[in-house]
Structure 1
Amino acid sequence: MEAELWADVSRLGPDATPAAMAHVRTSAVTTVLARLDQLAEWKPVERIALACLVLRPDELDLGDSAVDLVVAGSPEVLDAVRSQAAGRRIGVRCEIADGAGMDAAAALCGSVDVLIAAFVDDTNIPLELLLARAQGTRTRVLKELISSAEAATVAGVLESGPAGIVVRGDQLGDLDRVGEALRVRRETRRDMVPLEVVRAVPVGMGHRGCIDTATLFAEDEGMVVGSTSSGGVLVCAEVHYLPYMNLRPFRVNAGAVHSYVFGAADTAYITDLRAGEPAYAVSADGRFRKVLVGRVKVELRPLRLIEARHGDTLVNVLLQDDWHVRVMGADGKPLNLTEVRPGTQLLGTVWEPGRHVGIKVEEQIDEF
C-alpha cells in the first residue's frame, strides 16, 4: 500500500482551524485528524479520510458524522473509544519517551487499525522496533514528525518503513515537502539501455494516439512505447521547442494505436487507457513515476517504423512520421524522429517477452 500522509489539526484553536483545513483540502493529505469540536469546520473531500481524536472518555459523541476512524489520544482512553466507535476503525496515539512507553505501544499492535507513534527523540531506531512488533498484524504504524527539521529528512524516516507520516497542525507548512517526499518514494526504477537503430522507414497511414496527462513532464521525460512486449523506445514528451505551435508539456505523441505503453511492472495498450487511469512518465535515467491520464486523442496520421536492437533483442515502434515527434537519444538528448537513421543510438528498455493483454505470461509468444 502507498504511504499515508496525515494532517493533525487537533492542537489548533478555533481561529487557526478554518485556514488550516482549507490548506489541507488542497494538499496531498490522505487523512485529516481533528477534535470532535472541529468536525463541523471540515468540508468533506472524497480523497481525504476524516479521523476524530478523542482525548477524554466522556467526549465521544459522533452521531451521524462522516468520521472514518476514531483515534484515542492515549492508551488510557482506548477502551472507551472501542465501546463507542459504532463500527468505525480504531486508532491510538502513543507518546513514546522511554522503553516502558515503547513496550506499551507495542502491546497494542494487532488490537487497533492505526497506531500513531509520537517519539520525543528524532531517532528512528524505536520506530523500527515498533514496526517489527506490528509486522503481520492489522496495525498500520504512522510516524508523527516532531519538527520541521525532521520533515526535511523524511525520506530517511520512510526508509524505516512506517505506513505513513503525521504532520502536526503547527507545522502544516511542511505538508507540501512531505507530500513530495512520498511522491518520490512511489517512483520505481528500471535500467534504460541503448538501442541501435537498424531500420527507420515511412510505412503509410495509420491511427496514432496522443496521451494527454494531468501532469507536466520534465525535459528528460516521456513514455516508453513499443509494438512488441520485448521492449520499447523512450518517446519524449512535447516539452521541446516547436516553431509553429505552443508546447504541450502534458502530452506524449505516443504512437500507433496498437502500441504498448510500458509501466513500472506491466503494460497497457494505448487504446485501453482512459481518463483517470494511471500511466507512467519515464525519465532518461530510468525513473518511472505514476501519472494520471486525462485523455487519449486518436487521429489518422502518416507513420514511421523504427526498429532497434539491444544485444539479441529487437524492438520496434510505429510513430507519427513528423519531425516534431522526438525520441530520446542514448546520450539523454532528444532527437527529431525524421533525423533517426540506421546506426542512431536511442534510449529504451528491454523486457522478457511474452504478454497477454499487457500482463506477463509464462508462455512462448513470437512477435514480429
Structure 2
Amino acid sequence: MKKDKTVWIKADSESWEENKPRVTAGLESGAECILLNHDDIPKAKELGNIKTAAPGGEADIIVVGKGSEGDGIRKLPSEFSNSQDISEAQRLTREGKTVAGYVVIKNKKYEQFAVELGKSCDYLVVIGTDWKVIPLENLIAELQKLDVEIIAGVRNAEEAMLALETLEHGSDGVLVDTGDISEIKKIVAVRDRQGMEKIPLVKARITKVKPVGMGDRVCVDTASLMVPGEGMLIGSQSNGLFFVHSESEESPYVAARPFRVNAGAVHAYIRVGEKTRYLSELASGDEVMVINSEGETRPAVVGRVKIERRPLMLVEAEVDGTGIKTLLQNAETIKLVGDSGKPMPVTALKEGDEVLVYFEKAARHFGIKIEETIIEK
C-alpha cells in the first residue's frame, strides 16, 4: 500500500505578518505541518490545529540544524562524529522527542552530512540551493531502509511533482516555500494525486437489465464536490465493479447533487483505495475513493450515508466471458458510464450497451485481494 505523502509549509521569516498568510493557506489546503520560528508556535496554534516544526521544546517536531551546522550558519566539523547537530538529534531522540534534521545542500559534504544526520532523526528536511542538482536520489537511496522520512524543499507544483516521483518512491513529503497561495493549493493537489493509484477500467457488455422490486439502497454523500465524469466503483461481486456516476449532472427531474453517488443496494461492495467495503458499513468520517473515466482517483470523506427503501434494478454485464452484476435504484438520475466516458441512465440501458467497469480475476477476502477460488452469484 502506498505511503501517504505529506506537505509542510515554510513560514519562518522574521515577520509574523508575512508568515501568517502561509500558515492560514496551509490550514485551509490540508497541509500536515508548518515550519515556524519558535516564538510563532502559539500564534499558529491559535489559527488552527496543525502540527508544528521549529527549533525548541514546545514544537511537535523539534528541528535540529536550522541556524546551525545544517544550513551553514555554524561551520561543518571535519569529522561528523564531532557534529553538535548530530549529538543534539541523538539526545532528543533518546528523550523520546520527534526530531527533524534540517540541511541546506550546498555541496557534496552537506549531502553526506544530511545522510549522517538523518540516521538520528524521524524526518530529514533537505533544501537544494539549485534544484537541478539537488542530490535527492542519493539521499533516498542511502536512507530508504531507515525509519526516516525525507521532506524535500520545493517552490512550485512542478518541483513538488519531481520530488515526489524521484526514484519511483520519491520523497516522503515536500516543504513548500512560496507566498503564492494558489501555488500552495496546486502543490497539495499534486500530493493528493500522488497518494492514489490509477485504476485500469475496461469495457463490459450489458447482458440483462431487469426491475427486481423493492430494496434498501445507499446514497454516499461526500464532503467534496464531484464534477461530471466522476463517480465510484460499485458492484455485487468484489472482482467486478461498475463505474457508477455521481449526481453531478443537471436533470429536468431533480437538481444536481454533485456531492452524491446513488451507489446501489446495501449488500454491494465499494472500492476504497486498494480494498473493498460493503456499502452498508460506510459512515460519516470514512474515506472513499472517487474515480474518473481515465481511471484517475482521489480520496473523499463521507459526510452522510442515506439508506432508503427504493425500487431496484438488476444490471448484469459480461467481461472476458465472465458475468458481473449489481443492483441500482430504478431511476433516471442513476447512471453508469459508457466507454466514451458519457453517463448512461440505468433506465435507458439495453442489452449490448457497453459500460466502464473495473475487473480483476483474483477474488477478495474481507476486502483484500487473494489468490483463492470464490464464487459469487
TM-score (normalizing by structure 1) = 0.90
Instruction: Write the letter of the residue equivalent to 1:344.
Output: D
Question: What one-letter code is carried by the residue in structure 1 that aligns with 2:63?
Answer: V
Counterpart position of 1:360: 369
The 1:361–1:132 alpha-carbon spacing in structure 2 relative to 1, beyond 3 Å, is: closer
Aligned counterpart for 1:68 among listed residues 57, 60, 72: 60
1:35 equivalent in alignment to 2:41: no
| Deviations, residues 325-367 of structure 1 (Å, cap 9, x unaligned) | 1111122111111110111111111122533332333432211
Map of 1:144 onto structure 2 = 153
Q: How does 1:335-346 map to 2 (within 5 A)?
A: 335-346=344-355
On the 8 A contact 2:201/2:295 being kept in 1, the answer is yes
Contact in 2 for aligned 1:70/1:88 (Cα 8 Å): yes
Match of 2:298 in 1: 289
Tell me if structure 1 keeps the 8 A contact 2:193–2:297: no
Give 1:103-182 correspondences, 5 Å limit.
103-123=112-132, 126-145=135-154, 147-148=155-156, 151-160=157-166, 161-168=170-177, 170=179, 174-182=183-191
Change in Cα spacing, 1:24 to 1:266, as seen in structure 2 (3 Å) is: closer
Q: Which residue type is aligned with residue 10 of structure 1?
A: D
Check conservation: 1:229, 1:354, Cα contact below 8 A: yes
CA distance in 2, matches of 1:49, 1:36: 13
Partner deviation per Cα, 1:102-149 (whole Å, 9 max, x = no partner): 12212223111111111111125511111111111122111112x44x
Post-superposition CA distance 1:226-256 (Å, at most 9, x none): 1112302111100112113221001000001
- Note the C-alpha offset of 1:300: 0.6
Residues 11 and 169 in structure 1, CA contact (< 8 A), matched pair in contact too: no
Taking only aligned residues, the RMSD between alpha carbons, in angstroms, comes to: 2.1
Residue identity opposite 1:325 in structure 2: I
Which secondary structure state, in structure 2, belongs to the residue aligned with residue 210 of structure 1?
strand
The offset of 1:316, in angstroms, is 0.3
Alignment match, 1:21: 23
The question of whether the paired residues in 1 share the 8 Å contact of 2:243 and 2:357 is answered with: yes
Instruction: Identify the residue that residue 308 of structure 2 maps to in structure 1.
Output: 299
**2:212 is matched with which residue?**
203
In structure 2, what is the Cα distance between the partners aligned to 1:47 and 1:318? Answer: 42
Residue aligned with 1:174, SS: helix
Q: Is the 8 A contact 1:307 1:315 kept in 2?
A: yes
Confirm or deny: 8 A CA contact 1:93 1:116 kept in the other structure: yes
1:50 lines up with 2:48 in the alignment: no
Q: Distance in 2 between matches of 1:296 and 1:179?
A: 27
Describe the SS at the equivalent of 1:106.
helix
Partners of 2:335 and 2:343 within 8 A in 1: yes
Show the 5 A alignment for 1:270-281.
270-281=279-290
Amino acid at match of 2:163: V
Cα offset, 1:185, TM superposition: 1.1
2:333 to 324, 333, 348: 324
Shift of 1:18: 3.5
Aligned length: 355
Distance 1:37-1:100 versus aligned 2 partners, 3 A rule = same
Specify every segment of 5 or more residues in structure 1 that has no aligned partner in the other structure, as ranges. 55-59
- 1:228 pairs with 2:234: no
Q: Would you say the 8 A contact 2:101–2:118 is kept in 1?
A: no
Alpha carbons 2:9, 2:22 under 8 Å: kept: no
Shift of 1:42: 1.7
Of 227, 237, 249, which aligns to 1:218? 227
The answer to whether residue 99 in structure 2 is matched with residue 90 in structure 1 is: yes
